[in-house]
Amino acid sequence: MARRTKRRPFRRPSPQQRTDDAAYRQRRVEAAAQALLTTRSPEQLRSELADREILLSEADRAAQLDPSPENLSRYRVANADFEAVRAALTLVDHA
């Protein structure tokens, strides 16, 4: 008879770790937004936001239909790019 494999224990991050992770993600998005602001005009950012939104919806659809590691990675990259452009436009609008 085959041996049963042991299940790995699920480790839930502490609330402090989740807060630190969220702060790190926010700093990363803000840094990417600042980098975009130095190289693009507000009109270019608006155009790029529309392009990134289309790419995000395509990546989302592909990840929903076939949740392979490649498609999920593509979705994460598209989402990060979209968030960076959106944050850059928010900074432009508040300035």
pLDDT interval class at 4 (50, 70, 90): confident
Q: How many helices (H) and strands (E) does the chain have?
A: 3, 0
Q: Does domain 40-95 have CATH number 1.20.58?
A: yes
Q: What residue segments make up the domains of the chain, in order of their start?
A: 40-95
**Per-position DSSP letters for 27-54, written without gaps between them:** HHHHHHHHHHHHH--HHHHHHHHHHHHH
The residue count for the chain: 95
Distance CA(87)–CA(54), nearest Å, equals 17
pLDDT interval class at 1 (50, 70, 90): low
| 26-51 per-position pLDDT tens digit | 999 999 999 999 999 989 999 999 99
| 57-88 per-position pLDDT tens digit | 999 999 999 999 999 999 999 999 999 999 99
Tokens of 76: 């994460």
Token pair 């990675």: residue: 73
